Every structure is written in structure tokens, then in C-alpha cells.
Amino acid sequence: MKALFLQKYGLFIRRNLQFLEKELDKPGENDLLIEVFAAGLNPVDYKIIYGMALPFTRPNRPFPLGFDLSGVVIGKGENVQDFTIGDAVYAKVPWEQMGTIATQISVRSDMVALKPKNINFEEAAGIPLVGCTVVDSFKVAEIKEGTSVLIYAGSGGIGSFAIQYAKFLGAYVYTTTSTSNVEWVKKLGADCVIDYKKEDFRKRVQNVDVVYDTLGGSYTGKALKVVRNGGKIISIAGHHDDATLKKVGVAKIFRLLFWVKGSILLFRTQRKNVFYKHVWSYPNQTTLNYIRDLVEAEKIKPIVDQVFPFEDAVNALVYLQKKRAKGKVIVSMKQ
């Protein structure tokens, strides 16, 4: 198989990656061997290249990149009962099996689900990580009929899925985006779209039940100004709370540093009786099956910004790194 490997860490993506060919081991007894048709890219891919995941994981270099895939089952381990050779599937692979920007990959079968039938492979490859993250986040947020939620960055990979899912659950959705994306984001279903280039969302949004913080940095603190007393800030990009870091196995020393960094924010949330949680998603077959049903029922539409051919995967990562994508950036092995 051929895959895009990280050779060294650093901020300059082009200098740190290389395509390599490797012999794949035969799939483990619980694994599927998948011919990858398309890989969905996520910010975590370039954050790994920057070295930002080093407190969590240190795989031996070179190692292959990418978490999201769609493709076809071409082999399976002896314990796998629920898939057949030729099945069209989609998955977000676990950290220890990272490497979907590749022609083939072995993946634990319990992380894989049949792909939605009504969409193509490129569309399917963009769903697993963002879809499972949003579904898990909204469970913690307890979003339901009548909940008011502010979703930052409605045009991003996460935001474009989150708006549709929040509307499916019956929420009232506020979102932020830049001028050129306002009309596009409205069409995704958002009730109130705020152009962050022209106005401060804090003037338009007040006392919401939930803020979904997809931006982090100063935006996590700003969320406190617009969430109601007793509301929730659910973050996927801001301060990592200690329970989440403990669960993913971060060493005590790093956890202490995160705690010190976030202590003012946590003090402010407690003073306003606001629940704060950094959600770290654990995609799996059950959540992927649930999302497949939503997609097949046309409750959620996959949103693809651009599809790059496999040999242009580095350019695709550089494009994603600019943080201007509308929906998902995909690498196609079949283009």
C-alpha cells in the first residue's frame, strides 16, 4: 500500500510529509482490510504534524496520517462476522490505526459501518469524525426541542454538520460566519446567522442554553458572556478539562499545566453556574449507524468543499490549514 507519512514534526506541512510504499500485514483477527476510496481531512491531521498531539501520543516515525475513510472491504480477520468482502463502508479509525490517506488500511471492525447508500464515497469520507463528534457533543449538551444553541463557525466541517443536527433535534440555532458565507449557512438551516466580520455576536446573542465552542482561544471566554446562568459551554477546541485529559491518558504534569492555563476560565464558569466540558469524541459503529440512518433519511446532507486527488494530499492539508473550508476537504484515491 501507499500512504502519506509524517517524517518529522513542524509548522511547515510540505517539509514534513512524504508518500511511502509499505507492505501491509494480513488483517488482525478482529480487523477489516479496506481499499480506501476517499479520506476525509480534519484539523487534527495538521495539529499532529505541528506536534500538538505529543502530550497524548507518540507513535514511531514515520507514521501514516488520516482518520476518516470510505472504501470497500477487501479482506477480513477470522473473528469478523458482520461484514462481507465487497461491502461499501465508512469509518473514523482509532489513534493506534491512524493512516487513512492511503490506498489500503486495516481497521478494527467495530469502528466501521456500512456507508450511507444515497451518497458517494467522497461525501461519505467527510462524515465520520465530525458526525460522531457532534452527536457525542450534543448528547453532553442535552440539546433537544426548544434548546437555544450558539454554534461558532457554522461554515466549517463541524459547524455545517452541527447546524443540521441541531435543527433535526428541534433546537433554535445561532451561528457565526464571515460575510461571503452568510447566505450559504442560512440554507443549512440556521435561524440567526451573525456575520462576524461586521458585528460582534455578543450584541445579538444573549442567554442561550448552550454554546458549542468550535474555535477555542478567546472565543471560549466570550461564550461565557452569552450563555445563560446555569447553561452549558461544550467545547471541542478550547480548554481541556482535567477529566477529559485523564480519560485520554495525559500525564499528570501536562494535566497540571492545562489546569493552570484554564483556571481563570473555570473559576468564571463556576461563578455563573455554567457547566463546562471539553468533548473528546469516541467514534464507533453504533454512532456511525445512527448517522447513516440520518443521512439516508436526508436529515443530514454531507457538505464537501473540495476533492483533491491522492497525489495532491499535501496540498489538501495546506488548504485545510488556512481554516477557510466550507464543509469538508476530501482526498480521493479514485480520481
Ligand X SMILES: NC(=O)c1ccc[n+]([C@@H]2O[C@H](COP(=O)([O-])OP(=O)(O)OC[C@H]3O[C@@H](n4cnc5c(N)ncnc54)[C@H](OP(=O)(O)O)[C@@H]3O)[C@@H](O)[C@H]2O)c1
Hey, what's the cell of 55?
A: 502530550
DSSP codes of every residue in 93-111? --GGG---SBSEEEEEGGG
**55 binding ligand X? (CB under 6 A):** no
Closer Cβ to ligand X, 88 or 140, answer by number: 140
With H, G, I as helix, E, B as strand and everything else as coil, classify residue 83. coil
Distance CA 160, CA 151 (A): 10
**30 binding ligand X? (CB under 6 A):** no
Residue in 283, 281, 280, 282 with CA at minimum distance from that of residue 242:
280
**106 binding ligand X? (CB under 6 A):** no
DSSP3 helix / strand / coil % (the chain, rounded to 5): 35, 25, 35
**320 binding ligand X? (CB under 6 A):** yes
Closer Cβ to ligand X, 31 or 136, answer by number: 136
**40 binding ligand X? (CB under 6 A):** no
One-letter amino acid at 191 equals: D
Among 74, 192, 237, 318, binds ligand X (CB under 6 A): 237
Distance CA 218, CA 268 (A): 14
Distance CA 117, CA 302 (A): 12
Distance CA 104, CA 219 (A): 39
Say which DSSP state 183 is in: H
**215 binding ligand X? (CB under 6 A):** yes
**36 binding ligand X? (CB under 6 A):** no
The stretch among 8-16, 104-112, 294-302, 318-326 that binds ligand X (CB under 6 A) is: 318-326
Q: Are 275 and 295 in contact (CB under 8 A)?
A: no
DSSP codes of every residue in 208-249? EEEEEESS-THHHHHHHHHEEEEEEEEESSS---HHHHHHTT
The site string for ligand X over 281-300 (x = CB under 6 A, - otherwise) reads x-------------------
Question: What region does 189 belong to: left with phi over 0, alpha with psi -120 to 50, or beta?
Answer: left
**139 binding ligand X? (CB under 6 A):** no
The stretch among 16-24, 149-157, 247-255, 308-316 that binds ligand X (CB under 6 A) is: 149-157
Residue in 185, 226, 186 with CA at minimum distance from that of residue 204:
226
**155 binding ligand X? (CB under 6 A):** yes
The site string for ligand X over 254-283 (x = CB under 6 A, - otherwise) reads -------------------------xxx--
The stretch among 12-20, 78-86, 95-103, 172-180 that binds ligand X (CB under 6 A) is: 172-180
**43 binding ligand X? (CB under 6 A):** yes
Closer Cβ to ligand X, 129 or 294, answer by number: 129
**240 binding ligand X? (CB under 6 A):** no
Among 64, 99, 128, 156, binds ligand X (CB under 6 A): 156
How crowded is residue 62: how many other Cβ atoms within 10 Å of its Cβ? 17
**326 binding ligand X? (CB under 6 A):** yes
Largest CA distance in the chain: 59
The stretch among 98-106, 140-148, 259-267, 322-330 that binds ligand X (CB under 6 A) is: 322-330
Say which DSSP state 61 is in: S
**193 binding ligand X? (CB under 6 A):** no
The stretch among 25-33, 63-71, 116-124, 320-328 that binds ligand X (CB under 6 A) is: 320-328
Closer Cβ to ligand X, 85 or 248, answer by number: 248
Q: Which residues bind ligand X (CB under 6 A)?
A: 42-44, 129-130, 133, 152-153, 155-159, 176-178, 181, 196, 214-215, 236-237, 279-281, 320, 323-326
